Structure 1
Amino acid sequence: MKKCLLLFIVLYCQSNLFAQQDAWVYLTDKQNVASSISNPISILTQKAINRKNAHGVIIDSRDVPVNEAYITQLKNTVGITVKAKSKWFNAVHVRGSETDIKNLKTTFPFINRIDFADKSLNTSKKVQEKKQSKFTNALVNFNYGSAANQIKMFKGEKLHLANYTGTGMTVAVLDAGFPKVNTMAAFQRLRNAGNLKGGYNFVNRNSEVSVNTTSSHGTLVLSTMAGYVENQYVGTAPDASYYLFITEDDLNENPVEESYWVEAAERADSLGVDVINTSLGYTTYDNPKYSYTNADMNGNTAFITKGTNIAFEKGMLLVNSAGNSGNDGWVIVGAPADAAGVLSIGAVKSDGTYASFSSLGSNIQPTQKPDVVAQGEASFVITENDIITTANGTSFSSPIMAGGVVCLWQALPSLNNEQIMQLVRKSASQFNTPDYFLGYGIPNLETALNNGLDLVELLENDLGLKIYPNPASSDIFFILGSQNAIELYVFDVLGKLVIQTMVTNSTPSIHIASLSNGMYIVKIQSSNQLKTIKLIKQ
């Protein structure tokens, strides 16, 4: 009798749970679009504006926030809970009964359309599988200790030797939980440098990201990039700055997590983040009616994938784990790693051979997936208790590679996200013969850097000049080519003009030793052209 009663309670709770539907409510318009775009500092940070200007990214209506008056009306509607919002989509993620959600369309004229997560409820028909990996000045010459193999596999240490360790670059880590990052010894170097910039918990709607949570997954992920233990462990981008965003609800599998991710990506964009690492993926949910199919992994169906495509358009570089479904029923790369604008990272063993759990690419996807691979089997990580250990999963191959990409972009600041991604792909071990197991293979970031320097020289030759070194600590030199003289303007991240001078063949350098370390925007005016580049002072 007790068993029957228990079964009845379970079934009742499940039916009651699934009676609550999730849906995206798309809105018709926004407030003050034109004035916001003409005064972008009102909606974006100066760092975000500088990044967009440096890479030719247009500030448009998608950067304007959602109308808060509309959100307030939805929040005040009986039976409706607002879970998330997206300025890129001008949409709100709501939860409620099917009837209550459908009634919104007839109640509020500012609603354009409603898209239910349960696709069978949409009038127009056009993850347990969310695989987080469980435990299964002078030249920089680090002692990498346990982490040596995973960075040397793609020649990331060569960038460190050239002093490209992430300085001036900003990374957002979107994950589940980051317990003890504010107290761990492994992140002391990061904190001392002021490079732990803060974060936000989009699930609980507070700034608590480092308290104990149900998951320490994000702490492990961050350690592969930013961890540092003298002579024992060095992450792949130890001197970058980091924002930590919780978007994953580890207790439930629900598409609202996709909306949390999009919110976090929007926040990252507004803060001027360069690179986003996501060691999450979405395919199936607790409510099977919300689940995707393999055919949906086509680079433009999942809400999170569409959000990722916008993030790429906004100039950020997205690095995402390919997934851990290589030997289970799902098999293929999941969302958002299916997006063309994502550098999706598969996993290999320490010897560079395929790790059997790593998700496979498919002809369903619009581009080669995975893009490249890094060590994801027996990856060395640091736990929240400051213990160096190993863990398996593309959850770790992704940030390991992301850190390397951060250092590469630091070295080539005038290139955009797509150019950096293509340099990484072209440097990989099987670029000419890619497959669905390793994609283009294991990158060689030393080769990518050399090829990138050649590309920068070609681009600079369009203006007839060459600039070196960058990053720089004391002096910058110019080869003017066909130009007799150029006007030079250097702005700090707040848009303040800090240097204005003329560079000629007789005075081909400027002195920058007095500038504070960090990123600057350099505008170069010749007789008939204007060029903007990013300069790193170190």
Structure 2
Amino acid sequence: MKKALLLFVLLLTTAAFSQEDAWVYFADKPLAQSYIDNPLSMLSQRALDRRTTQGIGLNVQDAPIHQLYIDQVTAATGITVMAKSKWLNALHVRGSQTDIAALSGLPFVNRIHYANHSLNPGGRQLPQANLTTSRINKFLDTQVNYNYGGSATQVQMLKADWLHQQDFTGSGKVVAIMDAGFPGVNTEAPFQRLRDNNLILGGYDFVNKVANPYTGYQHGTQVLSNMGGYVDAQLIGTAPDAHYYLFITEDVNSENPVEESNWVEALEMADSLGVDVVNTSLGYFEYDTAAYSYTYDDMDGQTSFASRAADIAFSKGMICVTSAGNSGNTANPHIGVPGDAATVLTVGAVNNAEIRATFSSIGPSFDGRIKPDVMAMGVAATVATQSGAIATNNGTSFAGPILAGAVTSFWSAFPNKTNAEIVQLVKASADRFASPDNNYGYGIPDFQQAYNTALLSVSEFDAKGFVVYPNPANNQVTVTFTDVVTKPTIAFYNSLGQLVLQQTIENNPAISLDNLNSGIYIYKITFDNVSQTGKLVKK
């Protein structure tokens, strides 16, 4: 009897004091409106300009978490704050189940969600015999060194070389790469051109909380080389003239849900800095602790912390490109988090003959959507290593950035198009668009075709045309069209990206500016499901 009682006490003690991870969601943001009224206190001018171009307004998601809430959680007994998300108004915390549960007593806490699924109401129970799982190899191995000219196939497969010939190389666009580390980027020759042209804007290590991205595991170095690397006759990235931020969110020593939270925090920083395209050659499905792992049922784009944030990023005007994963030939062959998000451009891998790699994760998402979205070369892809050597590597980890760079260069050709328009053009150009499947998605994009389609839509817009006059204006402007259009509207945004005036034009081409102060405004005219922006000076 004593043995049984002792065992019972030990089990209770283990449950009470073992460390758990959880997300603590708050009920509100008491100071949100003050931040919305002063947007430069939370977003850069470039971030505001990106939203203005796409007609995206500010909302409560953009305001930071209320600091007093963070302070009270941080001060709670046994609680360590690991990461935070303003978009989801939540903190990732670590502590005993007892200490985490006690946070629900704080009046501003809305709910608590444990990474251990069995601790949540209605959470699934895992077999006790399966307390840990084998880790999926998201970083496949380098195979061949010094492959001269090897990057030609991976670039030409997408017709990204055609974009480069038209001088669309990513100039004017900003990319954030979230990965495991970038050693050698600050010293080695394949990245010299990026350094000489000041194309690396900065970075941050969210794992160690330091502003030094040039450390960690070299996976991020190789990923960056697919986009921005430049070694004549050996390796040319798909977006060699884009600007880059480098963020470390992955801890290669373990697989834990805090990496999702690091990723979300980096994504929010990318938004605030005005990033256009985000590349993530990471994915999450199984964690070191089985109780934290996802199942295929969770791949619905709505369950995971990271996938929900990815959709928010898209609503802010960014394009998230993520690798599908390398588990296609395992017991769990489906795409992982955040590749299951509806708005993410999820990329699978093919070889140089355009045949799917057996390791490339498959779809569909659990709710039946096409995944992966598109494919790019991820078998023997040419990369640069942390030592500056040119090598080849396998993995959707490299198909993703090759595609992301091509998207960036393509968007630089049409900077006034929205993220949704760019993504749709990319998908529509793919070779299986008419008959997508769960192995290839919509197939391999053709960026020359995408460009021609986009150019046609711009030409149609220009053919109909409009004039806004006078400019500069006093108290009124008039908008006239050169052809019949449907449902024309005009919106005006101030220099902070705030919508200050909006009205239909169809029956009233004269727009009063009486309520606008003197200054420079961005206008956006929309008709026939297309839109165009311009500048107006109010005297």
TM-score (norm 2): 0.82
Partner residue, 2:117: 119
Counterpart residue identity of residue 148, structure 1: A
Map 1:119-518 → 2, pairs under 5 A: 119-123=117-121, 125=123, 128-129=135-136, 131-135=138-142, 145-211=149-215, 213=216, 215-362=217-364, 364-460=366-462, 463-464=465-466, 481=482
Larger CA deviation: 417-426 vs 265-274: 417-426
Structure 1 residue 299: Cα displacement: 1.5
Structure 1 residue 146: Cα displacement: 2.1
Structure 1 residue 135: Cα displacement: 2.5
Where 1:400 maps in the other structure, the secondary structure is: helix
Counterpart residue identity of residue 84, structure 2: K
Identity of aligned residues (%): 48
Where 1:36 maps in the other structure, the secondary structure is: helix
Structure 1 residue 38: Cα displacement: 1.9
Where 1:307 maps in the other structure, the secondary structure is: helix
Counterpart residue identity of residue 78, structure 1: T
Larger CA deviation: 230-239 vs 393-402: 230-239
Q: What is the distance in 2 between the residues matched to 1:231 and 1:270?
A: 37
Structure 1 residue 131: Cα displacement: 2.0
Structure 1 residue 434: Cα displacement: 1.1
Larger CA deviation: 51-60 vs 364-373: 364-373
Alignment coverage as a number of residue pairs = 469
Structure 1 residue 73: Cα displacement: 1.7
Partner residue, 1:532: 533
Deviations 1:284-326 (A, max 9, x none): 1111001100111112111111111111111100100001111
> 1:338–1:365: 8 Å Cα contact kept in structure 2?
no
Counterpart residue identity of residue 140, structure 2: S
Counterpart residue identity of residue 32, structure 2: V
Partner residue, 2:515: none
Q: What is the distance in 2 between the residues matched to 1:166 and 1:491?
A: 26
Q: What is the distance in 2 between the residues matched to 1:420 and 1:197?
A: 24
Partner residue, 1:41: 40
Q: What is the distance in 2 between the residues matched to 1:359 and 1:531?
A: 38
Unaligned runs of 5+ in 2: 1-10, 125-133, 469-479, 485-491, 498-519
Where 1:280 maps in the other structure, the secondary structure is: coil
Where 1:298 maps in the other structure, the secondary structure is: coil
Q: What is the distance in 2 between the residues matched to 1:71 and 1:242?
A: 30
Kindly tell me: are residues 98 and 410 of structure 1, through their superposed partners in 2, closer, same or farther at Cα, counting changes over 3 Å?
same
Larger CA deviation: 432-441 vs 455-464: 455-464
Kindly tell me: are residues 61 and 197 of structure 1, through their superposed partners in 2, closer, same or farther at Cα, counting changes over 3 Å?
same
Structure 1 residue 480: Cα displacement: 7.9
Deviations 1:361-399 (A, max 9, x none): 126245211111000000000001110000000000000
Kindly tell me: are residues 433 and 521 of structure 1, through their superposed partners in 2, closer, same or farther at Cα, counting changes over 3 Å?
farther
Kindly tell me: are residues 185 and 463 of structure 1, through their superposed partners in 2, closer, same or farther at Cα, counting changes over 3 Å?
same
Where 2:410 maps in the other structure, the secondary structure is: helix
Where 1:344 maps in the other structure, the secondary structure is: strand
Where 2:142 maps in the other structure, the secondary structure is: coil
Deviations 1:112-144 (A, max 9, x none): 1100011111135599237233326xxxxxxx9
Counterpart residue identity of residue 157, structure 1: D
User: What's the C-alpha RMSD, in Å, of the aligned pairs?
Assistant: 3.0
> 1:129–1:281: 8 Å Cα contact kept in structure 2?
no
Map 1:101-112 → 2, pairs under 5 A: 101-106=100-105, 108-112=106-110
Q: What is the distance in 2 between the residues matched to 1:33 and 1:491?
A: 20
Structure 1 residue 277: Cα displacement: 0.3
Where 2:212 maps in the other structure, the secondary structure is: coil
Q: What is the distance in 2 between the residues matched to 1:521 and 1:381?
A: 44
Structure 1 residue 530: Cα displacement: 9.4
Q: What is the distance in 1 between the residues matched to 2:251 and 2:388?
A: 24
Structure 1 residue 462: Cα displacement: 6.1
> 2:17–2:98: 8 Å Cα contact kept in structure 1?
no
Q: What is the distance in 2 between the residues matched to 1:367 and 1:533?
A: 37
> 1:337–1:344: 8 Å Cα contact kept in structure 2?
yes
Partner residue, 1:487: none
Q: What is the distance in 2 between the residues matched to 1:494 and 1:364?
A: 40
Structure 1 residue 51: Cα displacement: 0.1
Unaligned runs of 5+ in 1: 1-11, 137-143, 467-478, 484-489, 496-519
Counterpart residue identity of residue 360, structure 2: S
Counterpart residue identity of residue 44, structure 1: L
Q: What is the distance in 1 between the residues matched to 2:207 and 2:270?
A: 16
TM-score (norm 1): 0.82
> 1:130–1:283: 8 Å Cα contact kept in structure 2?
no
Structure 1 residue 222: Cα displacement: 0.3
Q: What is the distance in 2 between the residues matched to 1:224 and 1:372?
A: 17
> 1:196–1:243: 8 Å Cα contact kept in structure 2?
yes
Partner residue, 1:503: none
> 2:335–2:365: 8 Å Cα contact kept in structure 1?
no
